[in-house]
Amino acid sequence: MGCFDCFKASPTNDIDNENTKCHSGKTKEFFDGKKEKDLSNSCHIAAQTFAFKELAAATKNFRAECLIGEGGFGRVYKGWLESTNQVVAIKQLDRNGVQGNREFLVEVLMLSLLHHPNLVSLIGYCADGDQRLLVYEYMPLGSLEDHLHDLPSDREPLGWNLRMKIAAGAARGLEYLHDKANPPVIYRDFKSSNILLSSDYEPKLSDFGLAKLGPVGDKTHVSTRVMGTYGYCAPEYAMTGQLTSKSDVYSFGVVLLELITGRKAIDNSRGSGEHNLVAWLDLDLYLSYASFNGDQFGGTV
């Protein structure tokens, strides 16, 4: 039984088995051998290649008016591809940023080989000189984080039905990575800012630069350098570096708490002891339990 059986998709959402196999032999050879000399020759890549000038034209030379997001990795722009008459999201990696060449290669490979309705689609990439860009399908409603925290005054909070729809879709995406992809994939960066929303609030997991192939055969975990985002990272993984799919399940639980409570995973604006959502909730539940004397049930629990 998988970790997300309560979020099972209907039969019409099942993915054909052939599409769930991420060409395991070539993929594993690439990651184990770290063959990064030539992206297009490392394994079969279905994603389209773009010239830098084409993506510059799509974003009006990366004008500020096209900017829709930025972070330690670089900037994301809304663009229009004239060749396909398509609106896209273009991520331009900062040449001195936290997402390096290996993470770029990992993301191109992962999203080229993995296909599911709850994973964002990679349209193509650009590796032109020292420029590294990724071209994705455009998600018009932004990220889940945009709809949970620091809302503008004119935006209504998400209703409960939408919150549960988003949780269920994100769970299906993780289930695909853990249980249906061959070999399994551990996402390693599940968080509300990486869950993008379509026009009908269908969630899609994005940003696969930290993804890692999971254990196979009789192996129980993968030993790796600890990566991820503080507040979402499973404590046992942070302490030991031993990565399993359960690390993603912990992160899913944090996002579920965000959906239920409306609080951030880490909020430094709150008082002492309330910065970390999980730690705050643990303490709150403990105090509630400690003060519970069973009177509501005739003194017996």
The whole-number pLDDT of residue 42 equals 46
Considering the domain boundaries, does residue 69 fall inside one?
yes
Q: What is the pLDDT of residues 117-150, one digit of tens each?
A: 999 999 999 999 989 999 999 999 999 999 999 9
Of 99, 122, 137, the last residue of a domain is 137
Mean pLDDT of the chain: 83
Do 133 and 217 fall within a single domain? no
How many angstroms separate the CA atoms of 134 and 76, rounded? Answer: 9
For the ranges 14-18, 82-86, 150-154, 169-173, the lowest mean pLDDT is seen at 14-18
Total domains present in the chain:
2
Q: Which range is least confidently modeled, 9-13, 121-125, 297-301? A: 297-301
Asked whether residue 301 is assigned to any structural domain, the reply reads: no
CA distance 43 to 23: 9
Q: Is residue 298 part of a domain?
A: no
CA distances from residue 77 to 54, 94, 139, 189, 223 in whole angstroms, order as listed:
14, 13, 12, 21, 35
Question: Domain range spanning residue 93?
Answer: 20-137
For β-strands 48-49 and 122-128, DSSP reports them as: parallel
The residues annotated with a catalytic role in the active site are 189
Q: How far is CA 117 from CA 43, 169, 177, 250, in A?
A: 23, 9, 12, 22
Q: Is 288 exposed, middle or buried (0-12, 13-18, 19+ CB in 10 A)?
A: exposed
Same domain for 200 and 152: yes
Report the percent of the chain where pLDDT is more than 90.
Answer: 56
Inside any domain, residue 158? yes
Q: For residue 245, give both structure tokens.
A: 């799919």
Residues 133, 32, single domain; the answer is yes
Amino acid 225: pLDDT:
80
94: pLDDT confidence band, cut at 50, 70 and 90? confident
pLDDT at 221: 83
Cβ atoms of 196 and 89 within 8 Å: the answer is: no
Backbone angles phi, psi at 143, to 5 degrees: -100, 160
Q: Which of 14-18, 50-54, 108-112 has the highest mean pLDDT?
A: 50-54
User: How would residue 101 be classed by pLDDT, with cut points 50, 70 and 90?
Assistant: confident
The CB density around residue 157, as the number of other CB atoms within 10 Å, is: 11
Q: Are residues 104 and 210 in the same domain?
A: no
- Which tokens is 134 given? 């990724």
In a domain, 14, yes or no: no
Answer whether residue 216 shows pLDDT above 80.
no
With a CB cutoff of 8 Å and minimum separation 6, the contacts of 77 are: 59, 62, 66, 67, 68, 89, 90, 91, 92
Does 197 lie in the same domain as 111? no
The span from the first CA to the last CA of the chain, in angstroms, equals 31
Residue 290 located in a structural domain: no
Can you tell me the mean pLDDT for 49-59? 97
29 vs 174, more confident: 174
Higher pLDDT, 261 or 37: 261
Please give the C-alpha separations between residue 268 and each of 70, 143, 276, in angstroms, as whole numbers. Answer: 21, 21, 8
Average pLDDT estimate for 198-210: 95
244/148 same-domain check: yes
Same domain, 184 and 229: yes
Spell out the residues 6+ positions from residue 37 whose beta carbon is closer than 8 angstroms to its own. Answer: none
Stated pTM of the model: 0.81
Cβ-in-10-Å burial (0-12, 13-18, 19+) of 290 comes to exposed
More confident residue, 52 or 221: 52
Contact (Cβ atoms closer than 8 angstroms) between residue 51 and residue 128:
yes
Let me know whether 169 and 122 are in one domain: no
What's the pLDDT tens digit per position in 251-287?
999 999 999 999 999 999 988 778 899 998 886 665 5
Separation of alpha carbons 88 and 120, rounded Å: 12
CATH number where 237 lies: 1.10.510.10
Read off the amino acid at residue 263: R
Backbone angles phi, psi at 283, to 5 degrees: -65, -40
Ligand-binding annotation for 91, yes or no, is yes
- Segment 35-46 shows an average pLDDT of 48
Cis preceding-peptide flag for 183 (omega within 30 of 0): yes
